[in-house]
Structure 1
Amino acid sequence: MVLFTVVQPVTADTLNSNGAKIFESNCAGCHINGGNIIRRGKNLKLKVLRKNNMDSVDAISVIVANGKNNMSAYQDRLTVEEIQAVSTYVLQQAENNWK
Structure 2
Amino acid sequence: MCGKTTLKFILLLFTLLIISFSQPALAADTTNGAKIFDVHCTGCHINGSNIVRRGKNLKLKALKKYDMDSIEAISSLVANGKNNMSAYKDRLSEQEIQDVAAYVLQQAEKSWR
Q: TM-score, normalised by structure 2?
A: 0.76
- 1:56 counterpart = 2:74: no
Deviation for aligned residue 1:16: 1.3
Map 1:1-99; keep pairs closer than 5 Å. 15-99=29-113
Q: State percent identity of aligned pairs.
A: 67
CA distance in structure 1 between the aligned counterparts of 2:30 and 2:80, rounded to whole angstroms: 22
Runs of 4 or more, structure 1, over 6 Å off, are none
Structure-2 change in CA distance of 1:88 and 1:29 (3 Å):
same
Q: Deviations over 1:61-84 (max 9, x none)?
A: 000000000000000000000000
Deviation for aligned residue 1:11: 6.6
- The alignment's C-alpha RMSD in Å is 1.1
Structure 1: unaligned runs, 5 residues or longer: 1-9
Does the residue aligned with 1:62 lie in a helix, a strand or coil?
helix
Structure-2 change in CA distance of 1:61 and 1:96 (3 Å):
same
Q: Deviations over 1:31-82 (max 9, x none)?
A: 0000000110110000000000000000000000000000000000000000
Does the residue aligned with 2:92 lie in a helix, a strand or coil?
coil
Does the residue aligned with 1:72 lie in a helix, a strand or coil?
coil
Does the residue aligned with 2:61 lie in a helix, a strand or coil?
helix
What is the number of residues matched between the two proteins? 88
Matched to 2:53, the amino acid is R
Q: TM-score, normalised by structure 1?
A: 0.86
Deviation for aligned residue 1:27: 0.2
CA distance in structure 2 between the aligned counterparts of 1:25 and 1:17, rounded to whole angstroms: 13
